[in-house]
Amino acid sequence: MNVDSDRLRADIEANAEFGKIDVAEGRGRTVLTGTDANRQAREYFVERLKDAGLDVRIDAVGNVAGRWTPESADPDAAPVAAGSHLDSVPEGGIFDGPLGVYAALESVRAMQDADLEPDRPIDVVSFTEEEGQQFAGGLLGSSVAVGDRTVEEALALEDDDGTTLESALESMGFRGEGRLDASEWDAWFELHVEQSERLVDADVPVGVVTAITGITHCDAVIRGEADHAGATPMDDRTDALAAASEFVLDVERAANEVVAGFSDTAVGTVGKLNVRPNATNVVPGQVETGVDIRDVNYDSMNELVQRARRSLARLERERGVETEFKRPFDLEPSPMTDRARKAAHDAGERAGIETMDLHSGAAHDTQRIAGVTDAALLFAPSKDGISHNPKEWTDWDDCAAAARVMGGAIADLAGAER
């Protein structure tokens, strides 16, 4: 079985035209749920599914799935599924998401071209709102597909303008019926750009993910007292921003210590600060911070959360500030399944394409799916590790190589490789 690299490239480049933005370097797109660009991307995908002879289904939250059921397959057998997403971040690149969607479709077309006869149906899927730019915090469509969020809860979500997901889907013509149920799949595969440089550094074309990082988001508020910057003596200040600067450094220090002594994949970031009143001539009275903690080891994530709490307690004692701390988002690490990972490695060996194990430091829909069925996430190399940026780039040959490995793995678990 061999993929048609020109056909795969043509689909990705066609998709890149939807939401295209003018940039000085690279190729960018902005495709947000409910926009005309998202509608165009979805309609093009549905057309490609139908062209390949797949039966298309759109569920109530806009997840799109095309099913190939050849004569050789038992229509009642649990399908092998693969895919990703078509939405993007604002001013994102052309590969993040669409590579996985169209590599899944190309896997089916390659099997058709090779006259392979799978025992199981194969589903090609695009999930709604993976990036979380309009509704929820990301992985929305897959959260419904695994039962972590109900259809009703998802449809009621609102964007910053007060538009519900239900209204956004209806405006595009992609408010379907029922619920795509990932637990009914025999296995799941997703191909994604790596968003790091490990494959490039190792000169290996395909990565097979061992585990997807867990993610914790914490909100910390530090309250001091706003005062006149000129009239308030230095020893009579309760500066919330000065205290927050120590908190930022404490989180960084804690992450470095955890990496050195416990888990070398842990990261901790304070990526958001809201300073009040945010005036040059006023001692800051309040700072709201956003903390991002990730690792494939959940114990190390909890350790970093506890160290953040201890930092705030110290600041209360030493600087006289008041603090609040919440943990509103917590997604545990997701190990990938040995069976699906082995199928990917075996497919690479059959095709003469080198593969290597590595972890994922970013979240993907596969993180949800792994909780209900066997799952594997594959990576293709990213030039300079850039992603969520118009300069995001994966060579077309690498796209084809990774798609070939995924296609071989799908064919294997679907019973077509004999």
pLDDT tens-digit series, residues 166-193: 999 999 999 999 999 999 999 999 999 9
Label residue 416 by pLDDT band (50, 70, 90).
Answer: confident
Tokens 């690279």 -> residue? 26
The CATH architecture to which 5-212+333-413 belongs is 3-Layer(aba) Sandwich (3.40)
> pLDDT tens across 264-285, in order?
999 999 999 999 999 999 999 9
In angstroms, rounded to a whole number, what is the distance separating the alpha carbons of residues 125 and 107? 12
Domain limits, the chain: 5-212+333-413, 214-331
Gyration radius of the chain over CA positions: 23
Strands 187-193 and 374-380: parallel
Helix (H, G, I), strand (E, B) or coil at 51: helix
Residue 137: predicted pLDDT: 79
pLDDT of residue 41 exceeding 80, the answer is yes
> pLDDT tens across 214-242, in order?
999 999 999 999 999 999 999 999 999 99
Mean local confidence (pLDDT), 35-54: 98
Helix (H, G, I), strand (E, B) or coil at 272: strand
pLDDT of residue 55 exceeding 70, the answer is yes
- CB distance 204 to 382 below 8 Å: no
pLDDT of residue 328 exceeding 60, the answer is yes
Strands 28-29 and 20-21: antiparallel
With CA atoms as reference, report the closest residue to 65 among 87, 42, 88, 94: 42
Residue 417: predicted pLDDT: 64
Label residue 1 by pLDDT band (50, 70, 90).
Answer: confident
Q: Distance between alpha carbon 160 and the CA centroid of its chain, in Å?
A: 21
Which CATH number does the domain 214-331 belong to among 3.30.70.360, 3.40.50.261, 2.60.40.10, 3.40.630.30? Answer: 3.30.70.360
Q: Which residues of 53-65 are buried (b: 16+ CB within 10 A; e: fewer)?
A: ebeebbbbbbbbb
| Chain mean pLDDT for the chain | 97
